[in-house]
Structure 1
């Protein structure tokens, strides 16, 4: 917890450019995690759909 507070204090005093860079980096990481989650769930969705089709 102490490290997180230190990081936030350093970010607050680093200037506008570094805050924007941090925000863009955070946004990019979150988009990447969302894309990875979607790609990893597609095979399960397709397998479930194939199972339902085969059960008919």
Structure 2
């Protein structure tokens, strides 16, 4: 897709990936305090993971 064909709704995959990686890092930090996190905890992002993530 050429730059001229991009409109306001064009997404930025790099930004989305950085936000996701930040969330996963925060999840890992949170779960590192657990001795044995459950499978559900490993698969779930919780509000605490989002609270410090800048989405602007």
Fold-level similarity (TM above 0.5): no
Higher helix share: 1
Over alpha carbons, which structure has the higher Rg?
A: 1
RCO greater where, 1 or 2, for CA within 8 Å and sep 6 or more? Answer: 2
